Amino acid sequence: MFNKPYFFVILMVILVGSFVYAESIGVTSPYSQDNPLKIVPGGNQDFSFLVQNGKSNSVTVEVSLSDGSEVVSFVGDNKYDIPAGGSAKVNLRAVIPNDVEVGKEYPLTVIFKEVSGNSEGDTVNFANNLQFSFPIIVGDEVAVPVSETTTSGSNFWTWVIFILTLIVLIIFIWMFFKKRKNKIKNR
């Protein structure tokens, strides 16, 4: 049984059917624990987070500061309605006092809370609370702004895997029918 070509076709159908698709929101930032935001004493810096909605329905995301509110504030609103597959830019501003010593660190923790989402059918929705942290360091040089390069990697790789699996499945089906056709001719 294991040497017959239809076994591979069945195996590929099972593999393609077993992919699980997870929908969620994602957050990106040019800053991280390894790449902190650096600001001179008395300086200020605008920066942003990009919130991406990978769900098939619109969501409302509320953003709050857990740590760092003594030097960071929102520029604009802190609540965002994001359509399905869309994104929103969360703008913040860090203002460092003049009398702060060089080398002082301010921890920043930003919480992204999904406060609503329109679900359809019998799906189960889990509340997404994402937390993003990095330090703000008082430096003696003006920081060069980091370019924001973001990609929706999870959707890209999902499609790549799906297409590659589909190609392999088509090849196996073609091989199965070709072999079957040859067996019929040889009879």
What confidence tens digit (pLDDT) does each residue in 23-59 have? 677 888 888 888 899 999 999 999 999 988 888 888 8
Task: Report which residue type is found at 35.
Answer: N
| 168 occurs within a structural domain | no
CATH number at residue 121: 2.60.40.10
Work out the mean pLDDT of the chain and round it to a whole number.
Answer: 78
Q: State pLDDT tens for residues 80-133.
A: 999 988 899 999 999 999 998 999 999 999 999 888 755 554 444 555 678 888
Domain span at residue 81 reads 24-151
Q: Is 61:114 a contact under the CB 8 Å cutoff?
A: yes
| 97 occurs within a structural domain | yes
Residue 7 has pLDDT above 60, yes or no: yes
Length of the chain: 187
pLDDT of residue 150: 39
| 175 occurs within a structural domain | no
| 135 occurs within a structural domain | yes
Tell me the whole-structure pTM to 2 decimals: 0.61
Cα within 13 Å of Cα(152), Cβ side: 18
Q: Is 58:118 a contact under the CB 8 Å cutoff?
A: yes
Number of domains in the chain: 1
Residue 134 has pLDDT above 70, yes or no: yes
The Cβ of residue 8 has, within 10 Å, a number of other Cβ atoms equal to: 18
| 185 occurs within a structural domain | no
| 14 occurs within a structural domain | no
Of 2-6, 57-61, 176-180, the one with minimum mean pLDDT is 2-6
